[in-house]
Structure 1
Amino acid sequence: MAEATRLARVLVEGLLTAGVRDVVLAPGSRSAPLAYELFEADRIGLLTLHVRIDERSAGFLAVGLAKGSGLPVGVVTTSGTAVANLHPAVLEAFHAHLPLVLLTADRPPSMTHTGANQTTDQTHLFGRHVRAFGAVSDAPVGPDGGDVAGWRFELVRLLTAATGLRTRLPGPVHLDVAFTEPLVPGPVAALPTGPAVGVSAARGAQPLVLPAGPQTVLVAGDLPPAAGRAVAELAAAARVPLLAEPSSNARRGPAALGTYRLLLGSSLAEDVERVVVLGRPTLSRPVSRLLARTDVELVVVSAHADWPDPGRTASAVVDAVEFGRPSTGSGSGGTGPGGGAAGDWLRAWQEADVRARAALEELLAAQTTLTGPALAAALWSALGGADALVVGSSNPVRDLDLAPVVDDPAAVYANRGLAGIDGTVSTAVGVALTRDRPTHALMGDLTLLHDAGGLVIGPSEPRPDLRVVVANDDGGSIFATLEQGRPEHQAAFERIFGTPHGSSFEALAAVSGARYQRVQDAAALVAVLDEPPVGLELVEAVVDRTQRRTLSTAVTAIAATL
């Protein structure tokens, strides 16, 4: 009997029962039993199988699929270094609370430490960066073969941990699966029936009612689209200034302030008495400084068992908040709906936002070449509520953070768990594959090159309608805006931070079979955006980085004029 096939069948059936509908496979011999079972499940429409030749891209494709669908996603690899290549995606999923289910094929334990090919100790390979670890083997435990009950138990345990159903801490899990030959399909003994395990969810607490009085702002960090919309509605109803990062999906409505990052450098910030944080803010130092202030009451709202608190100053960590109404005729401050002082507080921020926006637009219009902020604003303004935008780390997401608030914004996705540039192309492909409509992505040139393999999609694989807009400034211009970009460090800057590459993105598109266009100004990009992407497209936007530090300094200086 092909006990390896039997084990693989139990695992695939368990994934299907748990609602897994997408599995990413990187090919290998030791993982063949799982590959055959997944192929059959895909063939009869029980799930969608995605095959990638690079495990790192496979992992980030799963990240994108999990972001876009909100469901657990399986990842299958063979043994050895193949498993280790999942680690960057595992780290991102861990910090972003994404339910990845890693099924890594392994040699039998008897082969470990023997020098056998593609064999290493894979036990707890991802350490503390998975929510749970388990190991199963097709080794017989009696006359009826392998431990079917044990296989099912381990998978249910890990799937429950991945979704955070009991812990309120979703994230990646790792099941190491030891297979013995034969690794190809063969006769399989009947699977015994077992009891269906019903796992119930932990219940959340009631919202905390925040009393009116303190002058409050809401800070919204990375959040799924539905959660972000709820935050925008909360801020609008309470008439509280909303400082929303692009991937918070809360950058909408009358309370959202498009230039909040600049406003935090003005005198308005000095009058903040209470901050409510929802999501995980990661973008700017002004926000980090605000959250670290000891003279400000900090309330953190988190649906998970962990929470962001960069300044370690939170006075309350809760599931949800509501704003209390001010006392009738109190005449005092108040952030409750309808409070006069609350309206004055929001109005002061809105008026400053209008002034900062005018100054920012004037500054950007004076630039003689295409800049990152102008590129991001053009893309953002051309998209709408039916669209999705995946934005890369480094400068692009910060440029998007300066874009104006629009009435019906696109859904925004970003890898803000650890905010790395790796895997962004594959993440964008994953998000696009979960949607019925075309998807756009904005990223820098180094980000694209780092995951260029993500553009390689086999002819038999599901293909997205995805347009990747790459801001090509031939290097790492974000460092020019940091300490490393100061004039006294210029002798070393270009070699070790600027890192020019001179790569041809047209050639890269040709290699991967993507359509290619090149634009040099915002108007040309808008013209390209008039038509939705069909298949995989690459748009190279040529951006100048020689004046990046000067522009960044000028943008920051706007705060002093408000």
Structure 2
Amino acid sequence: MNDEADAGGPRPAFALALALVQRLWAGGVRDVVLAPGSRSAPLALVLDAADRAGDLRLHVRVDERSAGFLALGLSVGSHAPVAVVTTSGTAVGNLLPAVMEASHSGRRVVVVSADRPARLRGTGANQTTLQAGLYGVFAPCHDLEPGTDDDELDAAVDAALARRGPSQLNVQLDGPLVPQDDDPATWWARPTRLPGIRSAEAGVDEDGGGSSQETVTLPRGPRTVVVAGDDAGPAARLLAEAAGWPLLAEPTSGARIGEHAVRTYRLLLGTALRERVERVVVVGHPTLSRPVTSLISDGSLEVLAVRGPAGTATDPGRVARVLDAVPTVAPSSGEHDASDRAWLEAWRTADRALSQAVDDHVAGEPAGELSPLSVAAAVGRAVTAGATFVVGSSNPVRDLDVMAQPWPPHERRLVVGNRGLAGIDGLVSTAVGVALGREHASRTVAFVGDLTFLHDTNGLLVGQGQRRPLLTIVVLSDDGGAIFSTLEQGDQRFADSFERVFATPHGTDLGALCAAHHVSHERVHDLPRLESALAEQPSGIRVLEVVVSRAGRRSEARRLVDLARRLDLA
């Protein structure tokens, strides 16, 4: 570091960029996504040199929104903080959707936004805006001036890497933007030791400190269910198994595993079993169904909700006792053993019967036709041991929720989705990032709807020389937004407006779109071919477009509810 910087004077742009990247590396960042621009030039050259040296993996994308979700996916797949670098101006704003998702899901994404010097703010200077702190409540910002000294830089990077959720490092780069030395070998040097930078492997909490959580022990007795929402993790399953309680686990919970997981729980919550529940333990972020939301919002029940990685407990009814950690259960005394076994067996028996009824219903569909539920079942079966599975929002994750059998334990699957805000934004880019971040997986499959796919086709835009994942994307293609047909606006009263303002049929040729991106595409029309295609390992990104009709979505939803009610009356 030069004496001018130590004295508080301006640090040359390239020197500041090098110092910042060195500190990110020292804190455990190994993947960086770059969306190129002029003001970020010194950061780009440092990152390229670090990549060439084998110290970082640099992923270059031309679309900042895609770059943000790629960074999010890399963080999910690698379980490590990931940096995304942009130039100044609107480029920084394009990261907002990914930053919001990272905030609500507790993903460690560090935005490094190159900025013009502060003296140009408010002057109308080209590509200069108020970008420091642009993300507001979603990501704290450290505005790094050219005169930022080493201690301040250490503290800013330390805080960014220690936080559960996104952060912004806004870097004011002044003066010459390129190095004065013409030898690229001098543009990067791996730091041997930088004091004050916390390791990415260190335990962290929402405030950046080490975790210190008191565990609550629950008494036995009340008829209890464990609801495992997105990112609940194995602790939810372990609690259900230790207590002998039913486990109502969403596909992306990380807990839909083992013999306590109830496949058809969403439908069973419409039966008499729901009325017998006395206590609910909520782990993770459940968002998929109104029956679950109603259950966990019921003030007549004892509801306990555990804070997630982002520091928020899912308590939409504001009725829960909020816990900082997953509770334990009191040791068995024999007093409640029989009732606990009977309670669990009631759910298991009903689940077996209803699962069979649903499977028979799906099997009874016209021969040669693919239905959304049969597609979801086939995709779920293809997620074998060691696989990575990225599930899109809207219907795919809900179809999977009904059709996917609970997976066996100890097989190291990773099943994820962007459920923090449950948007369709950036799913292709997220899936690419997850696949690149978890390259040791036996296979990576993404399951999305056609609108979700079209919303992020720039995720397919991977330039020459960039790392490409081995990724199969299954697109449930029904030419529009089928999920709305199952909601209030899908009622016949709104039929005249429905197609235009909700279903939004697009008629896009997905094959031509994939061809433009040099991505393999296959249109699948039958179940045997879908199953065989899913068993194949792609050589890069491959899209399987599975054509289904959305005409029967509303009636099918009613049919599933009727199957559960008939079971209840039997």
TM above 0.5, yes or no, is: yes
Q: CA deviation at 1:136?
A: 1.0
Give the alignment partner of residue 427 of structure 2, picking from 413, 424, 428: 424
Q: CA deviation at 1:406?
A: 4.1
Instruction: Decide whether the 8 Å contact of 1:27 with 1:77 is kept in 2.
Output: yes
Equivalence for 2:206: none
Q: Secondary structure at the match of 2:445?
A: strand
Give the alignment partner of residue 107 of structure 2, picking from 84, 98, 101: 98
Equivalence for 1:262: 267
Amino acid at match of 1:324: A
Q: Which whole-Å CA distance do the structure 2 matches of 1:115 and 1:405 have between them?
A: 58
Query: Is 404-413 or 373-382 further displaced after alignment?
Result: 404-413
Instruction: Decide whether the 8 Å contact of 1:258 with 1:403 is kept in 2.
Output: yes
TM-score normalised according to structure 2 size: 0.90
Instruction: Decide whether the 8 Å contact of 2:307 with 2:322 is kept in 1.
Output: no
Q: Which whole-Å CA distance do the structure 2 matches of 1:67 and 1:505 have between them?
A: 27
When residues 466 and 311 of structure 1 are mapped into structure 2, their CA distance, relative to the original with a 3 A threshold, is same
Q: Secondary structure at the match of 2:169?
A: strand
Instruction: Decide whether the 8 Å contact of 2:269 with 2:291 is kept in 1.
Output: yes
Equivalence for 1:151: 153
Q: Give runs of aligned pairs for residues 466-545 of structure 1, distance below 5 A.
A: 466-545=471-550
When residues 512 and 297 of structure 1 are mapped into structure 2, their CA distance, relative to the original with a 3 A threshold, is same
Equivalence for 1:231: 236
Q: Secondary structure at the match of 1:402?
A: helix
Q: Secondary structure at the match of 2:380?
A: helix
Per-residue CA deviation, residues 365-398 of structure 1 (Å, 9 max, x unaligned), is 2333322221111111122121111000000010
Q: CA deviation at 1:303?
A: 5.0
When residues 290 and 280 of structure 1 are mapped into structure 2, their CA distance, relative to the original with a 3 A threshold, is same
Q: Within the alignment, does 1:248 sit opposite 2:257 as a pair?
A: no
Equivalence for 2:196: 197
Amino acid at match of 1:361: D
Q: Give runs of aligned pairs for residues 231-380 of structure 1, distance below 5 A.
A: 231-302=236-307, 304=309, 305-328=311-334, 330=335, 334=336, 339-368=337-366, 369-380=369-380
Per-residue CA deviation, residues 83-132 of structure 1 (Å, 9 max, x unaligned), is 000000000000000011101011111222222211111121111111x2
Q: Secondary structure at the match of 1:458?
A: coil
Equivalence for 1:73: 82
Q: Secondary structure at the match of 2:564?
A: helix
Q: Which whole-Å CA distance do the structure 1 matches of 2:458 and 2:322 have between them?
A: 44
Q: CA deviation at 1:283?
A: 0.6
Q: CA deviation at 1:518?
A: 1.2
Instruction: Decide whether the 8 Å contact of 1:10 with 1:152 is kept in 2.
Output: no
Q: CA deviation at 1:203?
A: 3.5
Query: Is 489-498 or 401-410 further displaced after alignment?
Result: 401-410
Aligned length: 536
Q: Which whole-Å CA distance do the structure 2 matches of 1:365 and 1:116 have between them?
A: 64
Amino acid at match of 1:452: T
Q: Which whole-Å CA distance do the structure 2 matches of 1:136 and 1:383 have between them?
A: 45
Q: Secondary structure at the match of 1:544?
A: coil
Equivalence for 2:176: 182
When residues 386 and 124 of structure 1 are mapped into structure 2, their CA distance, relative to the original with a 3 A threshold, is same
Structure 1 unmatched runs, 5+: 140-145, 163-169
When residues 255 and 5 of structure 1 are mapped into structure 2, their CA distance, relative to the original with a 3 A threshold, is same
Query: Is 89-98 or 185-194 further displaced after alignment?
Result: 185-194
Q: CA deviation at 1:259?
A: 0.3
Amino acid at match of 1:147: D
Give the alignment partner of residue 133 of structure 2, picking from 109, 121, 124: 124
Q: Within the alignment, does 1:381 sit opposite 2:381 as a pair?
A: yes
Give the alignment partner of residue 228 of structure 2, picking from 220, 239, 256: 220
Q: Which whole-Å CA distance do the structure 2 matches of 1:11 and 1:300 have between them?
A: 39
Q: Which whole-Å CA distance do the structure 2 matches of 1:268 and 1:190 have between them?
A: 63
Q: Which whole-Å CA distance do the structure 2 matches of 1:233 and 1:383 have between them?
A: 22
Query: Is 349-358 or 468-477 further displaced after alignment?
Result: 349-358
Query: Is 399-408 or 342-351 further displaced after alignment?
Result: 399-408
Give the alignment partner of residue 52 of structure 1, picking from 29, 44, 61: 61
Instruction: Decide whether the 8 Å contact of 1:385 with 1:411 is kept in 2.
Output: no
Instruction: Decide whether the 8 Å contact of 1:58 with 1:426 is kept in 2.
Output: yes
Amino acid at match of 1:292: S
Q: Which whole-Å CA distance do the structure 2 matches of 1:111 and 1:245 have between them?
A: 50
Q: Within the alignment, does 1:136 sit opposite 2:134 as a pair?
A: no
Instruction: Decide whether the 8 Å contact of 1:7 with 1:148 is kept in 2.
Output: no
Per-residue CA deviation, residues 141-163 of structure 1 (Å, 9 max, x unaligned), is xxxxx633333332223222x3x
Equivalence for 1:28: 37
Amino acid at match of 2:121: T
Q: CA deviation at 1:198?
A: 6.5
Q: Which whole-Å CA distance do the structure 2 matches of 1:289 and 1:557 have between them?
A: 19
Q: Which whole-Å CA distance do the structure 2 matches of 1:508 and 1:300 have between them?
A: 44
Q: Which whole-Å CA distance do the structure 1 matches of 2:149 and 2:417 have between them?
A: 41
Q: Which whole-Å CA distance do the structure 2 matches of 1:385 and 1:292 have between them?
A: 35
Instruction: Decide whether the 8 Å contact of 2:524 with 2:547 is kept in 1.
Output: yes
Q: Which whole-Å CA distance do the structure 1 matches of 2:192 and 2:347 have between them?
A: 63
Q: CA deviation at 1:547?
A: 0.9
Instruction: Decide whether the 8 Å contact of 2:49 with 2:187 is kept in 1.
Output: no
Instruction: Decide whether the 8 Å contact of 1:475 with 1:501 is kept in 2.
Output: yes
Q: Which whole-Å CA distance do the structure 2 matches of 1:93 and 1:189 have between them?
A: 31
Q: Which whole-Å CA distance do the structure 2 matches of 1:128 and 1:406 have between them?
A: 37
Q: CA deviation at 1:190?
A: 13
Amino acid at match of 2:146: D
Q: Within the alignment, does 1:208 sit opposite 2:216 as a pair?
A: yes
Moved over 4 A (4+): 187-195, 198-201
Instruction: Decide whether the 8 Å contact of 2:236 with 2:326 is kept in 1.
Output: no
Per-residue CA deviation, residues 158-200 of structure 1 (Å, 9 max, x unaligned), is 222x3xxxxxxx1000111111231111259999999712767
When residues 116 and 318 of structure 1 are mapped into structure 2, their CA distance, relative to the original with a 3 A threshold, is closer
Equivalence for 2:205: none
Q: CA deviation at 1:413?
A: 0.8
Instruction: Decide whether the 8 Å contact of 2:478 with 2:547 is kept in 1.
Output: yes
Instruction: Decide whether the 8 Å contact of 1:72 with 1:101 is kept in 2.
Output: yes
Q: Within the alignment, does 1:172 sit opposite 2:166 as a pair?
A: yes
When residues 467 and 545 of structure 1 are mapped into structure 2, their CA distance, relative to the original with a 3 A threshold, is same
Q: CA deviation at 1:315?
A: 2.4
Give the alignment's Cα RMSD to 1 decimal.
Answer: 2.1
TM-score normalised according to structure 1 size: 0.92
When residues 341 and 189 of structure 1 are mapped into structure 2, their CA distance, relative to the original with a 3 A threshold, is closer
Q: Within the alignment, does 1:554 sit opposite 2:562 as a pair?
A: no
Q: Which whole-Å CA distance do the structure 1 matches of 2:553 and 2:211 have between them?
A: 49
Q: Which whole-Å CA distance do the structure 1 matches of 2:566 and 2:212 have between them?
A: 45
Per-residue CA deviation, residues 261-287 of structure 1 (Å, 9 max, x unaligned), is 000000001000010111110110000
Q: Which whole-Å CA distance do the structure 1 matches of 2:112 and 2:174 have between them?
A: 16
Q: Which whole-Å CA distance do the structure 2 matches of 1:362 and 1:510 have between them?
A: 38
Q: Secondary structure at the match of 2:522?
A: strand
Q: Which whole-Å CA distance do the structure 1 matches of 2:214 and 2:293 have between them?
A: 28
Equivalence for 1:401: 401
